[in-house]
A and B are shown apart, each in its own frame.
Chain A
Amino acid sequence: MSVLDAKIPEGPIKDKWTNHKNKINLVNPANKRLIDVIVVGTGLAGGSASASLAEMGYNVKAFCFQDSPRRAHSIAAQGGINAAKNYQNDGDSVYRLFYDTVKGGDYRSREANVYRLAEVSANIIDQCVAQGVPFAREYGGLLDNRSFGGVLVSRTFYAKGQTGQQLLLGAYSAMNRQIGKGKIKMYNRHEMLELVKVDGKARGIIARNLVTGEIERHSAHAVVIASGGYGNVFFLSTNAMGSNVTAAWRVHKKGAFFANPCYTQIHPTCIPRSGDYQSKLTLMSESLRNDGRIWVPKNMEDVEAIRKGTKKPTDLSEDERDYYLERRYPAFGNLVPRDVASRAAKERCDAGFGVNETGEAVYLDFDAAIMRYGREKATVEGEPNASDERVRELGEGVIEAKYGNLFQMYQKITDDNPYKTPMMIYPAVHYTMGGVWVDYNLMTTIPGCYAAGEANFSDHGANRLGASALMQGLADGYFVLPYTIGDYLADDIRTGAIPTDSPEFVEAENAVKERLEGFINNKGSKSVDHFHRRLGKVMWDKVGMSRNEQGLKEAIAEIQQIREEFYKDVFVPGGMYELNPELEKAARVADFLELGELFAHDALHRTESCGGHFREESAEEDGPQKGEAKRDDKNFAYVAAWEWTGDPSNAKLHKEELTFNDIELKQRSYK
């Protein structure tokens, strides 16, 4: 085991980034034209990085597996983006955003990175507004804010429930400007299947053209992985169907350490699953918790009556309801962080109070908010004596203006009208805090290979706060990577174009072909999805919201078993040199089957509970925090970075010790 050097700059935390930028090497504009950079992924991180790098003068080659960069899964982010603007004058500051993020991450993130994130956050909003991103505004024409879980200020900027879409289209438009100028060469419907290293440095990728099936070699002086998270290892998650770990896993197998794979965010407000055919889960933005109250019935008879359909949730009076978050966490109530809210829902459902047929659902109720807003609106409209009915009508209008598209989405999926009856929600896998290990410069342990956005591990610790993913993706892509990559590329100004006929490229290409031909020629009896579903079930049951030693050991053995069967018995129809979605899936699931094992292995080794990682063996036994997660700072205040050695369970552990100079480590309390 070695100790990893994160290359954090010296000096006080508030000066680190400025000093670092002033000291690192720059590449002069004429030389940037001689340098190629590959960016894999065109979400917020990859899209903004491509646009910025191209604008600075580098030749960018951007890759996405979708048919257009605009479709990357950042598009689906609903709620908002945080920024320390303090427009609401509620005491927000860079320090407070930094503090909230470190605390929300349960003290498992790297202080210096988080501070930098908070520092550049305000510029993101300026940048996006200048690009024409239509954020929500107040009647005075200024930007509006909302509040999100785990914090006590309103610092979240939003565009209805489509903030991710608007920000991604902003980054996409910045890319389009550069594509039009020829500075970005865009490869749609291309998937990276291997990293190519030459003399130990990342020098290119092998990609498959998903339309023709052709295997292509692409070279560059640096490679940026911005391919998102790996939540689909659970099969069911809120991720898009195509979201995968392959790019990240391929660089891992070529020498990049993989950090904290077990840190997964289970989002508390998703639409519950309805049947075995379920292909994905749909998130309902956390912003709904601003106005929605979460509850289950107090009495078991009511639960049973509701499941049988003899009672409706609206039949229950206030004192027949258990608003369990308000009861357990009076200070934060329904706005506790995501991990806390998720576990609390699981606790009630495990105790038998789940309100749907599967027993895995709780209510999210807007009735109180509708009436409260309705009364405010009635007063403003000069109708102080409005009837309850009128108040409700006005209130529903206010709620519709705030969350209309989310309510509509819910109704489309469930056929229930959430204005009239409470929504049913349940936690689902949503985001992965773990990822490729990077230093302060966002460089992985492979020289010249960078990771940005959800694909890296650095900023969210063991739990991510709401509206922080968009912030991190854009911070990495617009403002961090474009600077730090220059420090590395400054040594490459005389290298010249990287040839693609070297033995390293040939070997990598052959390995990819062999792997894919293996799937095509396997002629087994079961579909790729069959194995993916089985993997997902093991992950959810034993490596999900709550984990214990025995379950994790079983999970590792079961995943190994599924992997073995997969290679023996998977059936991939069609050929290699054509559009073949089953082949694409097979390659992705093969990587998930390895990642899943490392994931469980990491969870097994971390015997503490922290953030989204809850080990049943490590809970507070008594006192006011009884049952809450118990961290072990003495033994686990480090980043676990795993080195590939040939099989996931024998991965070699490297530790990056986390030191907290600017924040005191405390138990997270939202009581």
Chain B
Amino acid sequence: MTKTRRDALKTVLGSVALSSAGWAGASAQSGGKFVYANNSPYDNLDPHTIFDTARAASRFNLYDGLYRWVDNPPKMIPWLAESHSVSGDGKVYTFKLRQNAKFHDGKPVTANDVVYSIERIIALKKGAASLYLDAIKPGSTKALDAHTVEFNLSQPSAIFLTTVPDILIVNSELVKANEKNGDWAEAWLARNEAGSGSYALRRHDPAVGWTGRRFVEHFAGWTGQPFDDVEFRTVLETNTRVLGLIRGDYQGADGYLPYDQIQRLRQSPNVQIIDQESMRVFILALNTSKPLMNNVHFRRALAYAFDYDGFIANIMKGSVNRNPGPNPNNIWGTPPGLKGYSYNLDLAREELKKVTEPLRPITINALAGFSESEQAATLFQNTLRQIGVEVVVEVSPWSVVSSRMRNAQTQADIIPLWKSTYYVDPNNWVGELYGTRYHGTRTFSYYSNPEFDRRLDRALVSSDQEERRKLYEEMTQMVNDDAAGIFVYNTKWYGPYSSKVEGIRFSPVSNGQDIRWASLKRG
């Protein structure tokens, strides 16, 4: 009998019961205040419209999901749900909610709140919605009783469970009371909070950030000496964040600072750097739909023309590891021994000789404000010039780049950018980046390969973990053979925290911003 992926997940979930973490009946002592300096603005607190990892703090501290990703490698643990079951055809997921979970206003968390939350996500079509739009139709989710909720998927989905932590539950009564003209209270929830999370919102000022007070009645209980108050501030200037950490003004900051700033922070006795292998792959995304870019020999020439080692050694100061494929090194789905491409201009020239159509200038659209993206573009421009490929470098803010990416015709030929973790499954990377079904939404490549798509379709419905592994490995090999992207490194997360803080639990999904586990060192 084949052990299915669901069976495996159930085993994992069962073994990570809340009681084993010592939460039940746990108590905590007063623990002071934690101030976090973030590089992104907290201009909107709505957990269903914001989805970027930079602002994970408001999603995961103010709100709870049915399950939660913790630690690295990430483990999915029961959260508002204590268990779930899946129907034989893989289309019906039934979750049993905890009896003791409450929202911050004291109202119990019920199945109706879960139903309202998923309906709201689908209706607003923002944030995490793209993970569910194909699988969950409006009105299909049912509350069987106060603590049982049933998701009826339109088709089996092997990744649904891994995306469940992104369904953050809002207090439906409170949100409904603030709806205006059928807006799902989008304006209200941008400035207010309706969650059950570990911290309850006290103040929000879009110009400054937000503060929260520990929710003592949180269902998971508290152990040790957690922080009583948290403050998440927007500090756009990197130098100010770094100096603030050194001075002790901030107890934490975002973990993707430039490496020279990390080295600077290491010198300070007030700061500790927690480093972890993340799941954030730096890619030179190739728009494979455009003339010339749709020629596999040209793409291989590009792949041979990027100086991977030079970039990692000189620009990244050796702070990251080479990642030869689309999936992060630390997740399954990559064929064993995949070497990827290496910098070899002779091989690049050989591939170029096989290109019959005339060359044209290639456009690289780097992300403004992200030095690695801009430096990769410049480095690539130099090496491509050596093989006779002219490059125009454009630098645009992310909003411009992402707007252009909606359409294959407007997306630039090459974009140096990162693919972050939204759920822990290779589909988050190789599947979304190269599947035809994701064109116009989550793809970076507009790659289209019927053989790839056939495997992807199967991988998305299969409940057999070994089959899925094999399929994703084959897909990754195809992407490599077709040079559908240029894969450079997997980001290392260097989380800067006050040396007085302990208990930070990093997960690539919440990026060390899930503060309930942290506390001040005593003594």
Co-complex (A, B):
no
Residues on A facing B (Cβ under 8 Å): none
Footprint of A on B, CB under 8 Å?
none
